[in-house]
Amino acid sequence: MSVNVRIPTILRSYTGGDSEVKATGNTLREVISDLDANYPGIASRILDDAGKIRRFVNVYVGDEDVRFAQGLDTATPEGAQISVIPAVAGG
C-alpha cells in the first residue's frame, strides 16, 4: 500500500529536506523498512537498537497513536497519513 509519511524537521536531512514522502507497506514495520531503503539511516532515528519505536518518538497512522494500536504491526491502508512526531521537552 502507498502511504504518505510526514517527516519532522529534525529528520528532513534524511529526505533531502522533504516534509512529506511516499512509502509502501501493509504495516508500519514495512513502511519504516521502505523508508529506510529509500532514505538510509532514517529508521535508526525512529527505532531503537531492539527494533522498537524509540521512547521519545510518537508515530500516528491517521489519528491513531500506534502505541495504543498494534505498534509496528499497525495496518497502513492505501493512502494513509503517517506522522512521525518527536517528543519535545523544555521548561
Q: Which residues of 22-49 are buried (b: 16+ CB within 10 A; e: fewer)?
A: ebbbebbbbbbbbbbeebeebbebbbee
3's grid cell: 502511504
User: Would you list the domain boundaries of the chain?
Assistant: 2-86
Residue pLDDT, tens place only, 32-62: 999 999 999 999 999 999 999 999 999 999 9
Q: Are 84 and 44 in contact (CB under 8 A)?
A: no
- Residue 91 pLDDT exceeds 80: no
Instruction: Let me know if domain 2-86 sits in CATH 3.10.20.30.
Output: yes
